[in-house]
Amino acid sequence: MAKKKFSVISWNVEHFREKDGRTTRIAAFMKPFKPDIFAIYETEEVSILQLMQTHFPDYDYFITDGPELQEILVGCRRGVFDQKVFTQKREFKVNNPALRPGALLSVQQKGKWYNLLFLHTDSGTDASAFGNRFEMLTKIQKMSEAITKGMPDSGIIITGDLNTMGMSFPTDTKSNRRVKDTDEISGMGKLLNKNTIALAPKEFDATWISNGLTLTSNLDHVWHNGNAPLKKLGKRSDGNDYFVRVYGWQQLSGQERRDYVDKVSDHCLLYFEVV
C-alpha cells in the first residue's frame, strides 16, 4: 500500500463566527484527523484565524480577502512540505463581486509540486448562479492546463463547497427544474475529464442538510488528477470503494444531529489522503 504523503480537510463551517466556544467545537471535530492541510469556508471574522492558531499552533495560515463577508481560511502544517505558496485566484469571483476568490495552495514535497484549489462557488439554482458555476469550470480548465504545461508531473486537486444544485428556470421551484443536481455533477465530470481530472468517490453522497433536517444535498466534492492519487479509505454501503471521508451530521441522528447543525455546521467535513 502506498504511503500517505499528506492529508487534507475541506469543510464549509456555516457562518463561522466565534460564539459560545464554537471555534473549540470546530477544532475538536478536526483534531482526530490530524490534517496536514485544512481549508475552512465561510470564515466571517479574521479573529477566527488567531483562535484557530491556539488549537493548531504548528501551522502556517492564509486567508482570502476582499469586500465579501465570507472568506476561505487555509492552514498548512509546518515541517511537512519543503515549500508552500499561497495565491488568491480572483478570477473565480466571476460576475459576482460578493464571491470570495479561489484559494490556491501550492506545496512541494521531495521535489514534486501539488496544487490544491479550494473553492466556494456561487450558491443557487437560478440561471445566474448556475452560469457562474459553469464559468468557474472553464477557469479551472485553463488553470489546470497552465499548471500541466509548466509542470507536467504536478498534482492538481480541486475541492470545496461547489454548490452543485442544478438549475431552475424561470423561477426557483421544483416544477421549473431544468438541470438536475446529478446532471450538473455529471457535466462537471465530462468537462474536467478532458484535463484528466476525475471525481473522487465519497463515503456518502450528501454533505449538506437543511435546518429542518428534511432535505439533503450533494454539494461538496474532491476532484484530482492522476499525479495526486488518493488513498482508499473504506467501502460505501453499496460495496464500492470511497476515497473521501464524509464526517459530521451523517454519523448522527436525533438530538445529536440537531445539535450538530445548530452548533457546528450544516455541512459535513471532507477528509482525504494523497499517496
Local confidence band at 1 (pLDDT 50, 70, 90 cut-offs): low
Burial (0-12, 13-18, 19+ Cβ within 10 Å), 131: middle
pLDDT of 207 reads 98
Local confidence band at 173 (pLDDT 50, 70, 90 cut-offs): confident
Largest CA distance in the chain: 53
pLDDT in tens, 79-96: 999 999 999 999 887 777
pLDDT of 99 reads 84
1-5, 87-91, 224-228: which is most confident? 224-228
Superfamily grouping for domain 6-274 = Endonuclease/exonuclease/phosphatase (3.60.10.10)
